């Protein structure tokens, strides 16, 4: 799709400075952009890269002066860039068809414009919403529901009874609804605690590759609307993740924990069982949150055990000085120092 700079400005509500007839057909980074690509400037320190870029049109904050460029002035260049990218490069329509090798069980309901790829298995009593694409080797267990305009990439597994909202995207290899990890020791061995709860994925959720969301044990595991989960994330039984929260790669959330609305969990965070991260909390990379701990609304924590960021930085500064301090203590303890 090719648009003029004026058309893009009108779509974004931007103020145009420069040639309104510049043609824009794609988006790119400054270093890889061609003349017809749109780029963006969100920090003055990158201005030199923008000026040297082959792109003719750039999104920038009001007042930016970039020689030889047509500038679209917006309050948030990065967000405007994302909106423009979706508009200029819409997803191609997938062929609505059921591959000959797919296995569709009885009493399933398949809506219009659904694409079902090679070797997909959809068990009895499942429901697939309109415009959804289920790619090769996916498994949809009995009684599951997949909403409208969803996309399951190859080898996604939905255990029986999994419930997906609309516009959910799950990347390759992820598993939704496996049994939680719960055992009770008695009579000399581990007995598996019942794993008979449900798992619900809300609208507009995206789950990365090879991530796992376990079903509830007796209750439900719930991933709310707009949540974004990275690759290689483990969500245990009975966990609730609030709307628009983000969980980065290699994070593990133990059972019965609650993550509020708009929470950010960075990479490799470990969250113990029965923890609470209140709305707007931030857990920095590799933070370790012990069992039962509450992170208050808006608080940023770091380290293991997780503690407020300012406290972590103070303690880490002393930690870095330990060799120096140890040397001073040794000198004080030497006989000649007495």
Residue/partner pairs of 47-55 with CB below 8 Å, 24 or more apart: 55/28, 55/30
Phi, psi of 150 (to 5 degrees): -90, 165
Q: Which residues contact 258 (CB under 8 A, 6 or more apart)?
A: 239, 240, 242, 275, 276, 277
**Peptide linkage before 299 cis (omega within 30 of 0):** no
Rounded CA Rg of the chain: 26
Q: How far apart are CA 234 and CA 14, in angstroms?
A: 41
Q: Which of 99, 237, 240, 244 is catalytic?
A: 237
| Among candidate residues 28, 63, 13, the one with its CA nearest the CA of residue 71 | 63
| Among candidate residues 321, 324, 323, 299, the one with its CA nearest the CA of residue 311 | 299
CA 34 to mean position of chain CA atoms: 30
**Catalytic residue list contains 240:** no
Between the alpha carbon of residue 191 and those of residues 85, 87, 186, the distances in Å are: 52, 54, 7
Catalytic residues: 237
């Amino acid at each position: 799709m090719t648009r003029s700079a004026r058309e893009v400005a009108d779509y974004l509500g931007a103020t145009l400075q420069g040639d309104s007839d510049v043609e824009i057909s794609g988006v790119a980074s400054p270093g890889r952009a061609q003349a017809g690509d749109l780029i963006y400037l969100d920090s003055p320190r990158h201005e030199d890269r923008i000026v040297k870029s082959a792109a003719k049109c750039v999104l920038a904050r009001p007042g930016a002066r970039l020689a030889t460029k047509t500038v679209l002035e917006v309050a948030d260049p990065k967000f405007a860039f994302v909106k423009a990218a979706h508009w200029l490069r819409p997803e191609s329509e997938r062929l609505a068809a059921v591959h000959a090798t797919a296995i569709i069980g009885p009493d399933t309901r398949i809506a219009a414009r659904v694409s079902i790829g090679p070797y997909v298995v959809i068990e009895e009593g499942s429901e697939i919403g309109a415009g959804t694409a289920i790619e090769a080797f996916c498994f949809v267990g009995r009684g599951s529901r997949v909403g409208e305009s969803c996309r399951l990439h190859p080898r996604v597994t939905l255990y029986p009874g999994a419930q997906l909202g609309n516009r959910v995207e799950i990347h390759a290899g992820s598993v939704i609804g496996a049994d939680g990890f719960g055992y009770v020791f008695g009579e000399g061995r581990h007995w598996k605690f019942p794993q008979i709860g449900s798992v619900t994925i809300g609208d507009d959720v995206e789950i990365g590759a090879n991530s796992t969301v376990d079903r509830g044990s007796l209750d439900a595991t719930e991933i709310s609307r707009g949540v974004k989960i990275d690759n290689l994330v483990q969500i245990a039984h009975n966990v609730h993740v609030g709307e628009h929260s983000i969980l980065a790669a290699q994070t593990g959330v133990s059972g019965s924990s609650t993550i509020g609305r708009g929470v950010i969990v960075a990479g490799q965070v470990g969250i113990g069982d029965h923890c609470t991260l209140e709305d707007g909390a931030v857990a920095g990379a590799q933070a370790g949150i012990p069992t039962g701990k509450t992170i208050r609304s808006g608080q940023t924590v770091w380290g293991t055990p997780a503690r407020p960021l300012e406290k972590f930085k103070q303690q880490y500064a002393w930690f870095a000085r330990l060799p120096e301090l140890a040397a001073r203590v040794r000198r004080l303890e030497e006989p000649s120092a007495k």
